[in-house]
Amino acid sequence: MELSPDDTAAALWVTGQGSGTPPAAGSDSGSDDAGGSPGEGGPGVGDTTPGGTIVAAEATLIQTGTVTTAHGIHYPADGTARTADAVVNLIVDDFRQLSFSDPATGQTLRYNLFVPKNYDHRKSYPMVLFMHDASVVNVATEGPLVQGLGAVCWASPEDQARHESFVLAPEYGSVVIDDNYEPSTLFEATANLVRSVTHQYSIDRNRLYTTGQSMGAMMSLGLNISYPDLFAASFIVAGQWPQTQAAPLAREKLWILVSTDDTKAYPGEQAITEVIQDQGTQVSTALWDGMSTAAEFAADVRSMKSQRTPVNFAAFKTGTVVPSGSTTSAHMATWQIAYTIPGIRDWIMRQSL
């Protein structure tokens, strides 16, 4: 029995609005608040309110008609209820759940780690750090793997066939950063976790990458500013940072993706981009249709890549990221699309220090 990702009743990630749906506006990053500003009803630094629940995968079916196999064997309906007694969660099950105790900060970080299936310590591998948004705070360790695609997309068989890599996805027990831009010590602990994992495995320190959505995007920007020689490239999804501190980002390789309907992250990213350009760094910009097909997105990516700039800034056009009838915000809808575009991940993986 296979649960369909298109069936909302089959969703295993549950928030305040029920199975598979985002939080209500104002209940974290369900609003257009990139960081969950305390002043706007979102959680502030240190908030430990759980953002969601992973429910057990259960399914029962009754065969109501004859089933015929490819070899012509017939199995007539019998009315017996059959319940699954084992669960396979593709890609998610390939991650290990671990814990890191950071002596420098005294913090303990739970995290998920994907190790390439054919790992060979004699080879050197890149690693991607994915950091979740505030709606995944203080849930089960696997939370970042099931709430969205930001971690698992890099570990898919298709991506691994093109770019064998490690994928690191921490689970934060509390909000790390809000719109005051004064992160908790989990921020520093994250950088120390990255260094710790690179010492445990044969990981190429010239090919470390970071990405994140909302709070995680803010952390990616902040880490690039605080540790400018740590990451070779970053995929920034619906995040922001004070433009007065953004000058160091001009030395980084960035792919920024945001919705024009995102009332905080979009102007925030525009301001950062202006600072980067003022520093003399070339930036490619484009407006994309959030309802594009895979082929259309691939063409969009190729067009930006052809300009060969170290920073790419793409924004989804107004009204193109939120499906008709959906209660989600443009802010959250951005990352539901962003991590389905493989061409961006390919660009990230080709960068090095």
Question: In this predicted model, what pLDDT tens digit does every residue of 279-291 receive, in sequence order?
Answer: 999 999 999 999 9
pLDDT at 42: 64
Count of CB atoms within 10 A of residue 121's CB? Answer: 8
195-224 pLDDT, tens per residue? Answer: 999 999 999 999 999 999 999 999 999 999
Q: Is residue 33 part of a domain?
A: no
Helices (H), the chain: 143-146, 157-162, 186-200, 215-226, 265-278, 294-305, 330-338, 342-349
Looking at the chain, the whole-number percentage of residues with pLDDT higher than 70 is 92
Q: Is residue 253 part of a domain?
A: yes
Give the span between the Cα atoms of 61 and 73, in whole angstroms.
20
Number of domains present in the structure of the chain: 1
pLDDT at 327: 80
CATH at 241? 3.40.50.1820
Q: Is residue 75 part of a domain?
A: no
Q: What is the mean pLDDT of residues 310-335?
A: 92
Q: Is residue 119 part of a domain?
A: yes
Domain membership of residue 199 as a residue range: 88-349
Query: To the nearest whole number, what is the mean pLDDT of the chain?
Result: 90
Q: Is residue 188 part of a domain?
A: yes
- pTM, two decimals, is 0.89
Q: Is residue 82 part of a domain?
A: no
Q: Is residue 247 part of a domain?
A: yes
Q: Is residue 176 part of a domain?
A: yes
Count of CB atoms within 10 A of residue 343's CB? Answer: 17
Give the span between the Cα atoms of 339 and 130, in whole angstroms.
11
Instruction: Give me 99's structure tokens.
Output: 């814990």
